[in-house]
Chains A and B, each alone.
Chain A
Amino acid sequence: MKAHVHVMLKDGVLDPQGEAVRHALGGLGFEGVNGVRQGKVIELDLAEGTTEAAVREMCEKLLANTVIESYRIEMA
């Protein structure tokens, strides 16, 4: 089984990389891009029966820094 963990900077935390991407899109002529936030996706290949609670603990302990990041778990 797999889990996908989406990690994003929290709302309100300035994302300079996302801003740079937004500027670059504007430079390419794409109009109407009001904002870009850049995050990451971590794909976990898990033993059958691993619970979402266990993945949540992984996020809290290592995968996300909850001071600045939020995370969302998708069990697949």
Chain B
Amino acid sequence: MKAAVVVFPGSNCDRDLATAFRNAGCDVSMVWHKDTDLPADVDIVGLPGGFSFGDYLRCGAIAANSPICRAVKAHGDKGGYVLGICNGFQVLTETGLLPGALLRNAGLKYICRTVPLTVATSDSVYTRGYNAGDVIQVPIAHHDGNYTAGADELAALKAEDRIAFTYNANPNGSDSDIAGILSPNRRVLGMMPHPERAAEADQGNTDGARLFAHLTEALAQA
């Protein structure tokens, strides 16, 4: 199982994400934003949290137009797996791999705390280790996590069972309490909460570890 984690100027969760992939059994390579190609035979690309390019213009907008993101977009468009967390989710909406956008939190404040999430579907390589309806504790740390999408897009997300996680107590104003969504082919996941910060005992919380373990197992069999 080969994972690549993209590093943008301002990424700050890249090594955490790499460690979570590695602990789950992946070979991990780090890829710089100026690179034009992903490593050969990469199974999954991770877009990490942070403040790529200082959040200038809009969160994720400049990263989404960086050379490596053209390769990430091509990887996603041909059916590759991509996991975007926090700023990575913002980058995914900016590239168009996922619908909608992430606005400033409704309460205007940066929020950094652990929140309960409901796993809304177990039908993806990312959530197959959970049961739909499971409640897990996962940290959030964002200023712009207020998910919004058009009425048609929201209806499609619901009808196609593409909402991966919802907030139990909506912290940021997201439409339909959305914390994470899947692409139409269920291979691209974007989520604001940080499962890589809840992935080993030393972090005090392992609720996110199953995501990486079951993802790695599923892709190793594929």
Contacts and interface: CB of A to CB of B under 8 A. Distances in A.
Interface residues of A, number: 12
B101 A16 contact: no
B101 A68 contact: yes
Contacts, number: 36
Given A62-B57, A65-B61, A65-B94, A16 B148 contact: no
A61 B96 CA distance: 11
B58 A65 contact: yes
Secondary structure call for the B interface: loop
A16 B94 contact: no
B209 to A, nearest CB: 33
Which of B103, B106, B146, B173 is most buried by chain A, counting CB atoms within 10 A of its CB?
B103
B93 A16 contact: no
Contacts of B103: 9, 13-14, 16, 68
A68 to B, nearest CB: 5
A63 interface: yes
A20 B99 CA distance: 27
Which of A13, A17, A62 is most buried by chain B, counting CB atoms within 10 A of its CB?
A62
6 contacts: A9-B103, A13-B148, A16-B146, A62-B57, A65-B94, A68-B101
Interface of A: 9, 13-14, 16-17, 20, 61-63, 65, 67-68
